[in-house]
Amino acid sequence: MLNFNYRIPTEVFFGEGQLKVLGNQIRRYGSKLLLVYGGGSIKKMGLYANVIELLQSADIPFWELSGVEPNPRVTSVRKGIDLCRKNEIDFILAVGGGSTIDCAKIIAAGFYYSSDPWDLMIGKAKIEKALPLGTILTLAATGSEMDPMAVISNPETHQKVGIGHPSLSPVFSILDPTYTFSVPKNQTAAGTADIMSHVFESYFSKTRSAFLQSRLAEGILKTCIRYGPQAMENPEDYEARANLMWASSLAINGLLSYGKERKWTVHPIEHELSAYYDITHGVGLAVLTPHWMEYVLSEQTVDTFKEYGVNVWGLNPQDNAFAAARQAIAKTREFFVSLGLPTSLHEINIPEDKLEVMARAATKSGPLGEFRPVNAEDVLQILRAAL
């Protein structure tokens, strides 16, 4: 197990009806608020009206930034920062899924940076601090509600970049599973794939001595496998939505990666797909994951794949290692197919022509991952296999 510093500062208010804490929580941190949200879904489900009513009854003045995109753009971030500066806003409330929360995070950090916020994403400037941020989650997927990371897109430059800083952790998050009852089937499926991919990124690691973390990871995978299909079949199944929601937070808040190296592989490759083609992140991950698994399966990695197969998919521990590993990968693909997710790039209308460009872009800072590091040529082969 590698050394680590554990710090998960976000307070979580989990369960039906927890919205009632909103006024008191906001007042702990700020007095003037920017409300950030995406499309109309929070209005349709009545959540928007409830939030407004609570803000008004708590006498908290607020301004609104709406229309944050599914792959949130730096243009929205800029708008948000302007609103904060003009109105001396000191607290940000994100209501939505990971895209809305990520956008709010970079607004919060960009507020303290005098030039263009895109500089913070590409390393031209460093995040120093951020406005306090609270979230009300409406989609179980990215885990942004409990982590210090944000991913922002710049369509002009075809870049989608992730960044992390301790000040980006929300100070509180309200997780009410009933707010995900209206998430459509395809988004429920993509969210489940996203959660599983977060788990895979730290589960498939060379650091096998972090035994405990791997067992926790398997628990979260089993949760996704049980409740993803259940939530799709019955969108108002509270137990399913609650387990998926909590899984989304725990998959990426650090719990699974503490004590291991944190070098991801599939996410950075997928970021290139969605930077160029604006596809749903979880869908891209579902396409890439089994192909990546097949590509990195080797003498060095086979035991971890077998362990995954035995502990998560109930395969026979007596099976031959490679046979079990291949079966585990096949089970993973079958599961995504059962959720209605695509398994190839052509199903999501991604042609061959930009694969090389994307493979180079994904690896421009060096090989990805530590389980089996992949360079540009490896990524290209994974992408070609996924065609």
Contact 321, 306 (CB under 8 A): yes
For position 341 contacting a second copy by CB under 8 A, the verdict is no
Contacts (CB under 8 A) with a second copy, residues 197-216:
209-212, 215-216
Structure tokens that stand for 259 in this block: 């004590």
Tokens 């179980």: give the residue. 140
Among 36, 83, 93, 247, binds a second copy (CB under 8 A): 247
Q: Report which secondary-structure segment, H or E, holds 268.
A: helix 266-277
Contact 166, 278 (CB under 8 A): no
Contacts (CB under 8 A) with a second copy, residues 94-113:
none
Among 151, 220, 288, 386, binds a second copy (CB under 8 A): 220
Q: How far is the CB of 3 from a second copy (least distance, A)?
A: 3
Taking CB under 8 A as the binding criterion, the range among 130-138, 247-255, 364-372, 375-383 that sits at the site for a second copy is 247-255
For position 261 contacting a second copy by CB under 8 A, the verdict is no
Q: How far is the CB of 223 from a second copy (least distance, A)?
A: 4
CB nearer to a second copy: give 10 or 197.
Answer: 10
Q: How far is the CB of 134 from a second copy (least distance, A)?
A: 14
| 321 contacts: CB under 8 Å, gap ≥ 6 | 302, 303, 306
DSSP letter, residue 125: S
Radius of gyration of the chain (CA): 20
Distance CA 147, CA 153 (A): 19
For position 181 contacting a second copy by CB under 8 A, the verdict is no
Residue 336: phi, psi to the nearest 5?
Answer: -60, -40
Tokens 């950075």: give the residue. 268
Pick the closest to residue 240 from 293, 194, 180 (CA basis).
180
CB nearer to a second copy: give 117 or 132.
Answer: 132
Pick the closest to residue 90 from 25, 48, 34, 152 (CA basis).
34
CB nearer to a second copy: give 54 or 310.
Answer: 310
Q: How far is the CB of 77 from a second copy (least distance, A)?
A: 28
| 31 contacts: CB under 8 Å, gap ≥ 6 | 60, 61, 90, 91
First to last CA, the chain: 37
For position 239 contacting a second copy by CB under 8 A, the verdict is yes
For position 387 contacting a second copy by CB under 8 A, the verdict is no
CB nearer to a second copy: give 77 or 324.
Answer: 324
Among 30, 96, 228, 259, binds a second copy (CB under 8 A): 259
Q: How far is the CB of 374 from a second copy (least distance, A)?
A: 27
CB nearer to a second copy: give 255 or 330.
Answer: 255
Taking CB under 8 A as the binding criterion, the range among 64-72, 112-120, 244-252, 357-365 that sits at the site for a second copy is 244-252
Three-state secondary structure along 344-383? CCHHHCCCCCCHHHHHHHHCCCCCECCCCCECHHHHHHHH
Distances (CA, A) of 143 to 24, 53, 102, 123, 179: 24, 27, 10, 23, 15
Among 111, 113, 204, 258, binds a second copy (CB under 8 A): 258
Taking CB under 8 A as the binding criterion, the range among 197-205, 235-243, 263-271, 291-299 that sits at the site for a second copy is 235-243
The neighbour count for residue 21, using CB atoms within 10 Å, is 15
Taking CB under 8 A as the binding criterion, the range among 123-131, 156-164, 221-229, 341-349 that sits at the site for a second copy is 221-229
Among 204, 227, 276, 305, binds a second copy (CB under 8 A): 227
Among 32, 226, 262, 384, binds a second copy (CB under 8 A): 226
For position 167 contacting a second copy by CB under 8 A, the verdict is no
What angle separates helix 211-233 from helix 185-203, to the nearest 10 degrees? Answer: 170
For position 145 contacting a second copy by CB under 8 A, the verdict is no
Contact 127, 168 (CB under 8 A): yes
For position 44 contacting a second copy by CB under 8 A, the verdict is no
For position 166 contacting a second copy by CB under 8 A, the verdict is no
Distances (CA, A) of 125 to 85, 128, 152, 166, 366: 19, 9, 15, 16, 21
For position 318 contacting a second copy by CB under 8 A, the verdict is no
Task: Note the residues at the interface with a second copy (CB under 8 A).
Answer: 1-18, 177, 209-212, 215-216, 218-220, 222-223, 226-227, 238-239, 242-243, 246-247, 250, 255, 258-259, 314, 317
